């Protein structure tokens, strides 16, 4: 089984972390050496990365693209701290920094109360 979250160390901010081997269906590394998240200008906090790994949430290229498109939408409307809903996943994003602060799935959302956000955006599928 591959590691559920795969990031380029320069994107993750963890300089000593070795990237996990890539699965054949996930192409997060492009020929240029940049990760797909980097190309989409998305960053993930260490906390968000830990949540993704602990909850075995896998974001493939399509998921990253949907998340980035949702951030683009809310950025145009002036959102600062947004809840992005995508299928059964929820992400809190610092919009100006394009930083995913945390991630959760339907099973691990606690009481289902989200505070300190100013907007909600749906990450629609293409």
Domain containing residue 35 = 9-122
Q: What is the pLDDT of residue 36?
A: 64
Domain membership flag for residue 2: no
Domain membership flag for residue 1: no
**How many domains is the chain built from?**
1
- Average pLDDT on 42-53 reads 95
Average pLDDT, the chain: 78
pLDDT at 89 over 90: yes
> Do 31 and 47 contact (CB within 8 A), yes or no?
no
Q: Which residues contact 111 (CB under 8 A, 6 or more apart)?
A: none
Out of 32-36, 76-80, 104-108, pick the least confident: 32-36
pLDDT at 54 over 60: yes
Helix (H, G, I), strand (E, B) or coil at 100: strand
Place 124 in a pLDDT band, splitting at 50, 70 and 90.
confident
């Amino acid at each position: 089984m591959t590691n559920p979250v795969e990031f380029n160390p320069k994107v993750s901010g963890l300089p000593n972390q070795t990237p996990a081997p890539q699965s054949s269906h996930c192409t997060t590394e492009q020929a240029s050496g940049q990760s797909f998240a980097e190309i989409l200008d998305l960053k993930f906090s260490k906390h968000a990365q830990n949540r993704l790994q602990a909850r075995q949430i896998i974001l493939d290229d399509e998921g990253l693209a949907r998340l980035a498109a949702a951030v683009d939408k809310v950025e145009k409307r002036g959102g600062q701290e947004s809840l992005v809903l995508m299928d059964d996943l929820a992400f809190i994003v610092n919009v100006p920094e394009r930083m995913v602060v945390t991630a959760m799935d339907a099973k691990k959302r606690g009481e289902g109360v989200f505070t300190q956000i100013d907007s909600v955006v749906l990450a629609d599928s293409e």
